[in-house]
Amino acid sequence: MKTDDLIAALALEPGFPGPGRLAGRLVLWSGAGALVAAVLTVVAMGPRPDLSEGPGLASFMGKAGFTLTLAAAGLWLTRRLGQPGVSARRPLLALILLIGGGGAAMAVELAMTPPSARAAQLMGHSAVSCPLVILGLGLLVLGPALAAARRLAPLRPGAAGAAVGLLAGGLSATAYGLHCAESAVSFLVVWYGLGVLATAVMGAALGARFLRW
C-alpha cells in the first residue's frame, strides 16, 4: 500500500478524531499561544497609547479585522489540507481574494497620497522591526498550533505546516497590533503581511518534518 493510501485509510478509522474536534483543538491550542503573545506584547512593549480612544481603537479593530481573517483562512486551509482527499481550492481562493483586496486597498490609499509622502506612509516608523516582531510572536503560537495539528493526516505536510503558520502569523500580528500605532493600510498590507508570510514559511519548514506520517 502506498503511503498516501495508508494515511487516507487511517483517517477513515472510527477512532480518528473528526474535523470538528480537530478544528476545536487547533483553535484552543493556537488561541492559548495567541494569549501568551498578546500578554507579552502589552507587558514587554506596552499598549499603543491611543488604544482606549476612538481613533486608536478603530485603527486597531481595522487591522485586527484583516489579520484575524488571515488567521481564519489559515485555519480553514489547515482543516482541508489535514484531511486526505479533501480539496483546498475554496480556502485558497478566499486567501487570494483577501490578499487581492488588501492590495487594491493599498493601491487606492497610495494613489490618494501625495507622491512626496508615499514613501513615509509606506515605511511608517517601524517597518524594519514589524515583520521580525510578528515572526517572534508567531513562534509562540506556531509551537502549540503545530502540536495540535499533529493529529491531522496531511498528504502534504509542508503545505499543511504553511497553513498552520498562516494561522499563527495572523494571530501574532493581531497581538502585535495592541502595541503598534501604525495606521496606514499600505503599512499593514506590506509589513504585517511580511511578518505573517515569514511565519507561514517557518510553519512550512517545521511542518514538513513534524507533520509527516
Rounded to the nearest 10 degrees, the angle between the axes of helix 157-176 and helix 129-149 is 130
Angle, CA 19 vertex, CA 212 and CA 155 arms, to 5°: 25
Residue 76, C-alpha cell as written in the block = 480553514
* AA identity, residue 208: A
pLDDT at 9: 46
The mean pLDDT of 68-97, rounded to a whole number, is 93
Residue 15 has pLDDT above 50, yes or no: no
- Mean pLDDT score, 25-40: 96
Q: DSSP letter for 13, please.
A: S
User: Residue 87 above 80 pLDDT?
Assistant: yes
Predicted local distance difference test score (pLDDT) of residue 53: 86
Q: Residue 204 is placed in which grid cell? A: 512550512
Q: How many CB atoms lie within 10 A of CB 52?
A: 9
**Amino acid letter, residue 44:** A
pTM: 0.89
pLDDT tens-digit profile of 151-186? 888 889 999 999 999 999 999 999 999 999 999 999
In the predicted model, what is the mean pLDDT of residues 82-101? 92
Gap between the Cα atoms of 208 and 135, Å rounded: 18
Cα angle value 44/49/50 (rounded, 5°): 140
Q: What is the mean pLDDT of residues 43-69?
A: 93
Whether residue 114 has pLDDT greater than 60? yes
Question: What integer pLDDT is reported at residue 20 of this predicted model?
Answer: 60
Q: Which amino acid type is present at position 69?
A: T
Average pLDDT over residues 122-141: 96
